[in-house]
Amino acid sequence: MTSQAQLQIVTKRKLNLNGKIGPTLHCHLALFFITLWTVTCQAEYFSSIDSIPVLAIAEEDLIEWYGNFLDSQEQDFAVYRNFIERVKEEHELALEDPEAYLGNPINAYKLIKRTVVDWAAIVGNVRNSTALQALKANLTSLTSAMPLPDISELRGAAKGLGRLQTMYNLKTPDLADGVINGVYYGSELSAHKCFEIGSNLFEAKEYPLAKEWLQLVLKLIYKGETARIKTSGDFHGDFDGDVGDDVGDEEITEPEANEVSGTEDKKQQTKEALDAEMSRNRAEYDNEYDNDDDDDDDDDDDEDYVMEDLIYEPRYGVFAPVVLYDWDENGNIINQTDIEKSDSLNNATSAFDKDSLTNKLLNETLEYLALTSLELGERKETEIYINEILDINPEHAFKDLLLFMNIKESQNRAAFDSLIDLQRYEWFANYSRLCQGEQVEQKERHQLKCKLDTHNHPLFILAPLRKEELHADPEIVVYHGLLSDKHIVDILEQSEAHMVRSRVGGVDEFTVRDVRVSQQAWLTYHSPTLKYIHRTVSAISGFDLSNAEDMQVANYGIGGQYDPHHDFFDNFDHKAKSPWIGNRIATHLFFASDVEQGGYTVFPLLNVYAKPVKGSMVMWHNLHKSLDRDKRMLHAGCPVVKGTKRICNIWVHSGYQEFSHPCGLVNDNYKSAHI
């Protein structure tokens, strides 16, 4: 079900329930989430910014319903009230300009995190209320209408932030301070949220980036930055966390922070080691290419680490980290108290016990850092973190991890995301530079023009095309102002009911992979708007569009991207079962939105980028005149830093083009033979 339909159903359901249910039964949202977390989520909110506003609507209901529930109770729910007020502050910011607020990847991550973790934890404290049972039927209907995100969504949002960091060289401390590309957006991340991002990146096998975030958490603790370490706000078990990110009921003092590692000398040594390691961490991340652990990041792999990496026992045995939240085999949250009953942390006798929240955060961060360093094959760093853990609690299970390291050392391999693997290519530096709107200066660029052009076609005699040349050979052209706002609204309304996670693949097999993080729909050329687009593209290109694919409509989520690729099919077989004749000869890409930061379409081998301009169309050929594949046309959709990216694609195939675009008599595939 689409986000727009979900939004309407939720709003209608909200009005109906509020009119029928008494004050005591306003706690029905608790049962809603009890039911919700046992249902498989298909929404994939992180892969499409258009889906996230549905969560904002759901959160508005949560604020209202839980507010009424608190008012109806006789006992003191001061902690609940504090949580609700902090969420309200964030929510009111979102209501002022939802698209701008949710276009910020940090805000989108925080909203998904609250939905996945914080609200679910509240449920764990009230799920035994008998008053909730009366609403089971209503809530079953509601959950079937609107599935909400699960833990894989939170990991996807964290990976989106990781892609932004890699592509745009964004520093972890800057992102934590709410600064993106030098612009402050007022979305500071607390130590707990930094930890959650780091732990989710670890679970997604993004070890170098996970290490950066976890090291930042450790520095915040050791430096005693009290404004970033809170005991209220996020709701989880014993009310640890930080929804507010600005205010906390309790703060650790500087003397307390100085007791974290046992002695001041030990603390200072650790701080200095962290400073040195973080300064070189980015360089190592950018220059280390290890392909031994090849991970295609397809759906099957993701399922593997939902079952394996989130619970850890199959992989690390007794060395599993004690995370802030965990999940059983049915996808339900496990109470943190139950986990801690069997954990040696409860027996710790360090001076840090006076602040149990920060003690727990410190231990969990050190555990993740030890295992992250282990995954990266960094034995020395692993030993440092293990010693820090044992200084706090000598009986910690990690006392045997050094022996475990000796046994498993030969199996340690670095695992990198596909984006990191791309850095092996010579053109990667130019790819990253183009995504930031920078080009290497070339003399040929001065010969490019912007002009009005009729293409000698009657459609454009009275309204000439606004043509901008981006590259001469091969030709890449932008036509501005082809789609009006009315056209775009119509396209988005038609596609809303059909959006699914984007897939990549060959002629007859497509899979979901992290090389493309977006959602898409396919539209036929039957409506007036689609007929206009079909006619216009045919008139501009001269192609016979009877052999064109349906128009693809896509929007991009948190860190949304499409890694470098060619539009032609590498494994194309003329005898394959395909509805089209011939390979993809040309691409027509429409921008259906402006993008505040990022989202460029770039051609790294040609030193060309196209900035998203609403209503414009970029056109290029994917095949040589000889119909051989033109490998120069490697292109990519850069990650979206801030804002929303919506595009439409029309791919035309080479069949039936004998008269409009006849094949060349000379084989010209030599132009890209060197690639």
User: What is the H or E stretch that residue 538 is in?
Assistant: helix 528-541
Residues above pLDDT 90, as percent of the chain: 25
In terms of Cα–Cα distance, which of 131, 667, 601, 201 is closest to 420? 201
Specify the residue for token string 């729909």: 521
327 plus 384 within the same structural domain: yes
Cα–Cα distance, 644 to 525 (Å, whole number) = 25
188-225 tens-digit pLDDT:
888 998 999 999 888 888 889 999 999 999 998 887 75
Q: Which of 117, 149, 181 is the last residue of a domain?
A: 149
Crossing angle for the helix pair 379-392 and 401-408, nearest 10 degrees?
A: 160
In this prediction, residue 65 has a pLDDT band, given cuts at 50, 70 and 90, of low
- Residue 178 and residue 137 share a domain: no
Range of weakest confidence among 74-83, 89-98, 452-461: 74-83
Q: Based on C-alpha coordinates, what's the Rg of the chain? A: 27
435 falls within a domain: no
Q: How many CB atoms lie within 10 A of CB 341?
A: 9
As a whole number, mean pLDDT of residues 296-323 equals 39
CB atoms within 10 A of CB 424: 9
pLDDT given for residue 573 in this prediction: 60
User: Do the Cβ atoms of 583 and 572 come closer than 8 Å?
Assistant: yes
Same domain, 593 and 475: yes
Same domain? For 455 and 565 the reply is yes
Predicted TM-score of the model (pTM): 0.57
Q: Quick check: helix, strand or coil at residue 555?
A: strand
pLDDT of residue 302: 37
pLDDT at 268: 56
606-634 pLDDT per residue, tens: 999 999 999 999 999 999 999 999 999 99
Residue 239 lies in a domain: yes
**86 and 213 co-located in one domain:** no
Domain ranges, residue 272: 150-424
How high is the pLDDT of residue 514? 44
Predicted local confidence at residue 124, as pLDDT:
66
What is the rounded average pLDDT of the residues 126-133?
Answer: 55
Cα-Cα-Cα-Cα torsion 250, 251, 256, 257, nearest 10 degrees, comes to 140
Higher pLDDT, 244 or 393: 393
According to DSSP, the residues that pair with 597 across neighbouring strands are 642
16 found inside a domain: yes
Mean pLDDT of 472-479: 96
Instruction: Verify that 245 and 288 share a domain, yes or no.
Output: yes
Average of per-residue pLDDT values in the chain: 71
Widest Cα–Cα separation across the chain:
87
Q: Is residue 606 part of a domain?
A: yes
pLDDT number for residue 62: 67
Interior CA angle at 154 toward 153 and 158, to 5°?
115
Q: Is 625 helix (H, G, I), strand (E, B) or coil?
A: coil
β-bridge mates for residue 516, sequence order: 562
The predicted structure's pLDDT at residue 133 = 52
Which range, of 56-65, 250-259, 383-392, 523-532, averages the lowest pLDDT? 250-259
Q: Span 299-307, mean pLDDT?
A: 35
> Quick one: pLDDT at residue 233?
44
Percent of the chain's residues with pLDDT above 70: 58
Are the C-beta atoms of residues 519 and 24 closer than 8 Å to each other? Answer: no
Last residue of a domain, one of 99, 117, 149: 149
Residues 129 and 190 in one domain: no
Give the 3-state secondary structure percentages of the chain, helix then strand then coil, rounded to 5. 50, 15, 35
Indicate whether 334 and 481 sit together in one domain: no
Question: What pLDDT band is residue 567 in, cutting at 50, 70 and 90?
Answer: very high
Domain boundary residue among 368, 390, 424?
424
Residue 421 confidence (pLDDT) above 70: no
Best-predicted range by mean pLDDT (231-235, 335-339, 610-614): 610-614
Question: Token pair of 647, please?
Answer: 């595009």
Query: How many domains is the chain built from?
Result: 3
Q: Are residues 141 and 161 in the same domain?
A: no
**Which range is least confidently modeled, 117-121, 164-168, 335-339?**
335-339
Looking at the DSSP bridge assignments, the partners of residue 521 are 553
Q: How far is CA 370 from the centre of its chain?
A: 25
Per-residue pLDDT band at 45 (split at 50, 70, 90): very low
Would 434 be classed as within a structural domain? no
pLDDT over threshold 80, residue 496:
yes
Residue 95: band (very low, low, confident or very high) from pLDDT cuts 50, 70, 90: confident
Flag whether 549 is in a domain.
yes
Q: Which residue has the higher pLDDT, 546 or 142?
A: 546
pLDDT of residue 109: 85
The answer to whether residue 437 sits within a structural domain is no
Q: How far apart are CA 593 and CA 563, in angstroms?
A: 20
Shared domain for 315 and 385, answered yes or no, is yes
State whether residue 16 is helix, strand or coil. Answer: helix
| CATH of residue 563 | 2.60.120.620
Tell me what pLDDT residue 506 has: 46
Q: What is the average pLDDT across 639-657?
A: 91
CA distances, 539 to each of 365, 478, 525, 624 (Å): 60, 15, 15, 21
CA-CA distance, 45 to 488, in Å (whole number)?
Answer: 22
**Residue 192: closest CA among 209, 205, 176:** 176
pLDDT of residue 19: 41
What span, in angstroms and rounded, lies between the C-alpha atoms of 345 and 627? 66
Domain membership of residue 430 (yes or no) is: no
Taking a C-beta distance cutoff of 8 angstroms, is the pair 560, 518 a contact? yes
| Domain match, 79 and 205 both | no
Instruction: Mark whether 229 and 105 lie in a shared domain.
Output: no
Q: What is the DSSP letter of 667?
A: -
The whole-number pLDDT of residue 322 equals: 43
* Distance from C-alpha of 543 to C-alpha of 656, rounded to nearest angstrom: 9
